[in-house]
Amino acid sequence: MKFCAVKQYFDDENNNNITSGASTTMIPLPNVESHPLAILITYCKKHLKIKANNADNKKETEKEMEQYEQELLKKVMPQELTELILAANYLNFKEALDFFCRAVASAIQNKSIEFVRKFFGLESDFELGEEEKLREEFAWSFEGVDED
Amino acid sequence: MEVCIDFLNWLDPDISVQILMYLEDPSDLVHASSVSRSWRDFVIANGLFKHLCLRMFPQLSRVARVMELNKCGAKEPVEVGSSYSMEWESLARDHRVYATLAQVCTSFIVEDCISEAISASSTDHYPDESIHNTLLPAYTWRASYWSSKGQSNPAVPETLIYKLKSEFCVITEINICPGQELLSSLHIYSSNSVRFRMGHTKGPNDLGSRHLGDSLPCNADDTFIWTYTSPEFPMAQEGCLQNFRLPEPVLCIGGILQIELLGRVQRNEIDGLFYICVSYVQVVGRTLSPTFCVEILEPSGTFVLKNDMQGKFYTPPSLPKNEAHEISDDQLQRGFRYWQHFVNRLEGNENAVEFIEEYESGEEEDEAEVEYTL
């Protein structure tokens, strides 16, 4: 089971309630909203399906998974990425967590500071001249950046 | 609706670190630390540039501390003696130094980094076939190569040791051309495989102008400390420049590089012994001086990384791959010294050039062996 937090819950439940039907137990997930949870469940199901299809061929699994991940990223809004990361972290779903962290990093690669601020809805809180000083000190890093 | 999703506020620090550590380009990390004060402080407090450099060059794990030299307008910490501000200042210094290091390691000019040859484990017909012959490409006026002494056991290895242009270089690949007999048998005296080590001298030796003759008086392992050993690369028995690209670029701390030639393949038809010959060596990479220098702390073997803030910061665009094969100023200088060496021998003036200090006079018959490359 990929959702380690849920698995843990099942293990605990089984230790306490051997006789009662586990299928009717409600599992509380207070920190996960329905939308990211839905995406994570789909991701998990897809991952398991691809793995089953390519049981012996690890490379094929990785390739198919990558293709699926690219498609998924196109449908996910940047703002949702943080919620997805929070959900994956709470559920202790390592593969999804790694994937969404990488996705956030890729989204801000080779982009200008203004783009990164806009992406996360942030404002600069530097004092006057502080940002200019930073740009001067690290002038080399501001060449060849993608135009937004 | 603009949603503020500053993940630094929402996520565990561990996950935020994980996200930012996926940024491999140092420029991206600079941008991240320029977004806002909290992002900048986060990058500094978690030493993300140091982590980035350590991932690129595990050799940096031996850094004891960093220093900034010639820093103009250096300001004192706000509360002198406060341990918090001292610690912050140290983190901020790490941030600046490692950011600069990450940048220069990927942008400084790529060139042949050999400064001079130090010694060979054995040499046949010294000084005619000395290691100094490997400093010039094979198209010079005579077929020149270094030759080991002959051995009946093909498993006996040989080593060649070179000093690099700076004690702090990033090395990406090494090119070696095995020596070939051009007039008669056309035998190629390559080795079975090669391996490379990098390191520094033990103690404050200055190997600058001292050459150890045709064989090391003592074990190389007593003179040098090796901090990196490459995998073994197979060598082809071909008389051409062969490329050995390191799996990852390597920081050579100490400026000493050793080539290990493992396994002999070619027997000489006259004496029946196995030899190894090398006609040309290039060590390709970037020298990071004078922007960076190191001080090695004995006996721990750790070192102090120093960033000279006023060091040359010239960053030309990356050169095309064949740049490494053009003759640099250094090679012209080495070529000139080689010519000077030969001219001095013809005139019997053995004291003029220091690197022939072991020359024995009276070997005039060598002149008769002057050959021209075909």
CA–CA distances in Å: residue B185 to residues A32, B266, B267, B269? 78, 11, 11, 8
B235: nearest Cα among B176, B171, B152: B176
Could you tell me if A101 and B15 are in contact, meaning their C-beta atoms sit under 8 angstroms apart? yes
Q: Which residue has the tokens 């130090």?
A: B118
- CB neighbours of residue A78 within 10 Å: 17
- Burial of B267: CB neighbours in 10 Å, binned 0-12, 13-18, 19+: middle
| Dist. CA B303–CA B300, nearest whole Å | 8
What is the token pair recorded at A52?
Answer: 């089953």
- What's the Rg (C-alpha) of chain B? 25
Candidates B1, B3, B5, B104: best to mutate against A (most CBs of A within 10 A) is B5
Quickly tell me which residue has 């080539």 as its tokens: B259
The reply to whether residue A120 touches residue B23, judged by beta carbons under 8 angstroms, is no
Q: Do A110 and B4 touch (CB under 8 A)?
A: no
Give ∠ CA A10-A13-A19 in degrees, rounded to 5: 115
Q: Is residue A84 within 8 Å of A121, Cβ to Cβ?
A: no
- A91-118 burial, b at 16+ Cβ within 10 Å, e below that, comes to bebeebbebbbebbbeebeebbbebbbe
CB B27 within 8 A of CB A140: yes
pLDDT band for A14, please (50, 70, 90 cuts): low
Flag if B99 and A138 touch (Cβ within 8 Å): yes
Give the span between the Cα atoms of B109 and B166, in whole angstroms.
13
Share of chain A above pLDDT 90, in %: 0
* Structure confidence at residue B329 as a pLDDT band (50, 70, 90): low
For B151-163, write each residue's pLDDT tens digit. 999 999 999 999 9
Give B116's strand partners.
B163
Interface of A with B in 97-136 (CB under 8 A): 97-98, 101-102, 104-106, 108-113, 116-117, 120-126, 131, 134-135
Cα separation, B19 vs B14, in Å, equals: 9
State yes or no: pLDDT of B213 exceeds 60. Answer: no
Looking at residue B97, its pLDDT comes to 93
Q: How far apart are CA B290 and CA B272, in angstroms?
A: 49
Query: Is the per-residue pLDDT at B330 higher than 70?
Result: no
Write down the pLDDT at residue B153. Answer: 94
Gap between the Cα atoms of B252 and B287, Å rounded:
10
pLDDT band at A37 (very low <50, low <70, confident <90, very high): confident
Lowest mean pLDDT: which of A91-95, B138-142, B266-270?
A: B138-142
With 80 as the cut, is the pLDDT of residue B369 above it?
no
**A31 within 8 A of A5, measured Cβ to Cβ:** no
Most confident range (mean pLDDT) of B10-24, B266-280, B333-347 is B266-280
Minimal CA separation from B12 to chain A, in Å? 9
- Comparing CB atoms, the residue among B3, B33, B96 nearest residue A121 is B3
Per-residue pLDDT tens over the stretch A120-137? 778 888 888 888 888 888
Cα–Cα distance for residue pair B165/B113, rounded to 1 Å: 5
The DSSP symbol for A32 reads: -
In 3D, which of B276, B352, B262, B279 has the Cα closest to residue B132?
A: B279
Distance CA B280, CA B132 (A): 9
Q: Are B324 and B282 in contact (CB under 8 A)?
A: yes
Q: A126 to chain B: which residues are within 8 Å by CB?
A: 36-37
pLDDT(B186) > 60: yes
When mean pLDDT is compared over A17-31, B177-191, B357-371, the highest value belongs to B177-191
pLDDT at B113: 93
Task: Check if the beta carbon of residue B278 is closer than 8 Å to that of residue B145.
Answer: yes
All residues of chain A having their beta carbon less than 8 Å from the beta carbon of residue B37 are 125-126
- Tell me the pLDDT tens digit for each residue of B115-142: 999 999 999 988 888 899 999 886 655 6
Q: How confident is the model at residue A96 (pLDDT cuts 50, 70, 90)?
A: confident
Which residues of B lie closer than 8 Å to A, measured between beta carbons?
2-7, 10-12, 15, 18-20, 22-23, 25-28, 30-38, 40, 96, 99, 103, 107, 315
Q: Do A121 and B99 make contact, defined as CB atoms within 8 angstroms?
A: no
Residue B323's pLDDT band, with cuts at 50, 70 and 90, is very low
Residue B290 — pLDDT band, cuts 50, 70, 90?
confident
- Give pLDDT, residue B60: 92
Q: What is the pLDDT of residue B310?
A: 76
- B230-244 per-position pLDDT tens digit: 999 999 999 899 999
- Chain A, residues 4-33, CB within 8 A of chain B, namely none
More confident residue, B138 or B175: B175
Nearest to B31 among A79, A104, A113 (CB): A113
pLDDT for res B255:
93
User: How does the average pLDDT of chain B come out, rounded?
Assistant: 79
CA distance B128 to B116: 17
